[in-house]
Amino acid sequence: MPALTTSSDGFLLHGEPFRIISGAMHYFRIHPDQWADRLRKARLMGLNTVETYLPWNLHEPEPGTLVLDGFLDLPRWLRLAQEEGLHVLLRPGPFICAEWDDGGLPAWLVADHDIPLRTSDPRFTAAFDRYLEQLLPPLRPHFAANGGPVIAVQVENEYGAYGDDTAYLKHVEQALRSRGVEELLFTCDQANAEHLGTGSLPGTLATVTFGSRVEENLAALRTHQPEGPLMCAEFWIGWFDHWGGPHHTRSATDAAADLDRLLNAGASVNIYMFHGGTNFGFTNGANHKHAYEPTITSYDYDAALTESGDPGPKYHAFREVIARHAPVPDEPAPSKGPKLPLTDVDLDRRAPLLPYVRGLAGAVRSEDPSTMNELGVHTGYVLYRTTVPASGDGLLHFAGGVGDRAQIFVDGASVGVLERERHDETLPVRVPHAGAVLEVLVENMGGVNYGPRIGAPKGLLGPVSFQGDALHGWECRAVPLDDLDAVPFGPSDAATDAVPAFHRGTFDVDTPADTFLALPGWTKGQAWINGFHLGRYWNRGPQRTLYVPGPILRPGPNELVLLELHATTGTRAQLTDTPDLGPEND
């Protein structure tokens, strides 16, 4: 019998009435050395449960592999949660959305456009089954049936907003059950009749997602499910940001009032997010409804706990609300953590990107440019290179556009940028002579994480022509970013810093602590400290600083590397004690 069961109007844990007061935090968005701290702060706010998605794409980066270490050491995170006295809700997908690259679906799977995603097509279900065969055995000791903290597991994720393949939902449910998951299963959908109708399963608890209109949304759930617990599985207290958009915030007073309404109604809740964390590296997703909109590096979400783990206004407001409905630890609320003092970094070493990549072996040659998917490149950049037989002024046309952002160079000189979000396909250029070298540096800005465009191809998406004549004979090279020690740095020359280049500098640290990387005068690129990939920066905003977790720093010398794609007005960066995610927009 599962530890968590349902009654006519609530939950029972080991047969006793129990209300889930949970908060979302994604282990894969938090440095592992900070997991224990974040879990302790969850308990101190009054939470009795924490919730996390599982990113299939990271746990199985290639077919048949399983990664469960470092940021992905889920068994360790579960042990730490149990040591803190917290229960756990697991949401393994297959699809997670989460503003995560490709919604958590593996790139090797979505690259096969013949496979209909999130359906009962046996090619899709077989891939998920194989993943569960590997994933569940090391997790099984952490389920409540075996004395662990996991009390419930989600079936898929907001499927009612995507499809109506009930056979598929049943398959996911049985895939979990047949592999030893005895705990309570639940589905999660937006609180309307259509989504609940197509996203729910008979015999499986239905839950809903919303951020306001508490009574109305709980009533919609009760209409769909006349008996059983009322639960908001995602109570949205903030929101995520896109590059070029506003920084979303929500007042603590407003969010706390709605949390109070939820708890007054006797409902259970999972606060989304209790602690958002960071889209480190190339992990951010994107939305694409009317236009392509990539998500920023920060996943602060205006959560109760900030991106750097400090209690924000919502933390204290929620703690007061929870104390009116459930026990809150008789311990002081946590204070803000230490921050590194203001530190300037002089990036005095430099390596131009294009000459470095041109000299690398392993180019793929093809008549027409290959997409990133066809090249097996899941993230980052690809450099395409060919020659133009004609000279003069004309239109450079990219049939199908680019995915997602392309910088175009003729004989090494920048001639323009094309972007998927603007539906760009054509660029007027001047080719100085026949045989000029055309290079196109394409950046994957993040896989779409919601809706029918998951798995949309990246790179050059069709033939390229100049003055109406197709260009053939392409060299396609992935830009290697895993080993920055191989980059041939030399002295910096500010006069030539208007081309894509790596920049390197060092700085000293006395006592490692959290900090924030500010890049005034820099345009767009990637940042690493001590080889740890912080993520993407862009002066388009709203985000103006990148979070630097204290555990990646070390006493003494530390190294900062930037890949700047455009231009910089100087060679300095700064580590500051204050984050800047952009002007607030309630």
Query: What DSSP string describes 498-525?
Result: TS-EEEEEEEEESS--BEEEE-TT--EE
What distance in Å separates the CA atoms of residue 529 and residue 545, rounded to the nearest whole number? 14
Q: What pLDDT was estimated at residue 304? A: 98
What distance in Å separates the CA atoms of residue 430 and residue 516, rounded to the nearest whole number? 42
Peptide bond between residue 404 and the one before it cis (omega within 30 degrees of 0): yes
What distance in Å separates the CA atoms of residue 441 and residue 566, rounded to the nearest whole number? 12
Taking the whole predicted model, whether its pTM rises above 0.75 is answered as yes
Q: Among 229, 239, 237, which Cα is nearest to 259's?
A: 237
Q: Quick check: 270 and 24 in contact, CB under 8 A?
A: yes
User: Which residues are catalytically annotated?
Assistant: 158, 234
Q: What pLDDT was estimated at residue 150? A: 98
> Environment class of residue 583 by beta-carbon count within 10 Å: exposed (0-12), middle (13-18) or buried (19+)?
exposed
DSSP bridge partners of 201? none
Q: Among 129, 120, 43, which Cα is nearest to 319's?
A: 43
pLDDT by residue for the chain (586 residues), tens only, comes to: 899 999 999 999 999 999 999 999 999 999 999 999 999 999 999 999 999 999 999 999 999 999 999 999 999 999 999 999 999 999 999 999 999 999 999 999 999 999 999 999 999 999 999 999 999 999 999 999 999 999 999 999 999 999 999 999 999 999 999 999 999 999 999 999 999 999 999 999 999 999 999 999 999 999 999 999 999 999 999 999 999 999 999 999 999 999 999 999 999 999 999 999 999 999 999 999 999 999 999 999 999 999 999 999 999 999 999 999 999 999 999 999 999 999 999 999 999 999 999 999 889 999 999 999 999 999 999 999 999 999 999 999 999 999 999 999 999 999 999 999 888 899 999 999 999 999 999 999 999 999 999 999 999 999 999 999 999 999 999 999 999 999 999 998 765 568 999 999 999 999 999 999 999 999 999 999 999 999 999 999 999 999 999 999 999 999 999 999 998 888 899 999 999 999 876 5
Query: What DSSP string describes 258-282?
Result: HHHHHHHTT-EEEEEEEE--B--TT
What is the residue whose two structure tokens read 């929500």?
Answer: 250
